[in-house]
Amino acid sequence: MLIVLLGVVQICPRLPNFICHKLAICKEAKPISQKQRKIGGERRDFVKIETQKLLDANFIREVKYTTWLANVVMVKKSNGKWHMCVDYTDLNKACPKDTYPLPSIDRLVDRASIFSSQIGCNLEVYVDDMIVKTKSIEKHAQDLAKIFQQVRRHNMRLNPKKCVFGVHGGKFLGFMITCRGIEAYLDKC
């Protein structure tokens, strides 16, 4: 039995200090305000809705005078819906470059502490995608209960539109995962 939870993990938006990041900017960098790009129709309506969600969740706040200004970029997802991104190319150029390499994904996954006891046993995780895997239906409910307990404990949420339960296989990161193992996804070949 395989449970596929693709892109479903989200940090609860009411905890702004759960993950904090401070951005270092080179002292000699001058703030850049990108010229505002026009967004029309359906995309403009989506931007308004998503921006209001971010304001309501305290992820962003309104400012009267900006020093840096970056445009919103709309990207169409494979399901036909829009995804709102921000063009931070100018800001990225103003940040000092790291002198150390990024850690490999294997080391990051190994160090994931929230699901550390389950990863490799009954759970596989990549960024915000998860697969719960069990060999019997009886064990399946127990494994799900443990994972849901961890999700609740850390104030995470699952997107019900992206959860698939009780399947014997599914698409994961461009591959088909089945009880036989990993197979090529035919639509990608």
What mean pLDDT comes out for the span 61-85? 87
- Domain end residue (candidates: 93, 109, 131): 93
Q: What is the mean pLDDT of the chain?
A: 78
Structure tokens at 32: 């850049």
User: Whole-angstrom Cα distance, residue 169 to residue 180?
Assistant: 9
Residue 27 falls within a domain, yes or no?
no
Considering its fold, how many domains does the chain have in total?
2
Residues 49 and 112 reside in one and the same domain: no
Residue 115, number of CB atoms within 10 A of its CB: 21
Residues 7 and 55 reside in one and the same domain: no
SS percent in the chain: helix, strand, coil, step 5:
25, 25, 45
User: Whole-angstrom Cα distance, residue 39 to residue 45?
Assistant: 9
Domain that holds residue 165: 2-14+100-188
Higher confidence at residue 148 or residue 185? 148
What CATH number does the domain containing 125 carry? 3.30.70.270
Residues 133 and 80 reside in one and the same domain: no
pLDDT for 29 beyond 70: yes
Does the pTM of the predicted model rise above 0.85? no
Q: First vs last Cα of the chain: how many Å apart?
A: 26
Residues 122 and 81 reside in one and the same domain: no
Residue 45 falls within a domain, yes or no?
yes
Structure tokens at 25: 């900017």
Residues 147 and 166 reside in one and the same domain: yes
- Domain end residue (candidates: 69, 93, 117): 93
Residues 6 and 62 reside in one and the same domain: no
3-class state of residue 87 by DSSP: coil
List of residues 6+ apart from 153 with CB closer than 8 A: none
pLDDT for 132 beyond 60: yes
- Domain end residue (candidates: 56, 77, 93): 93
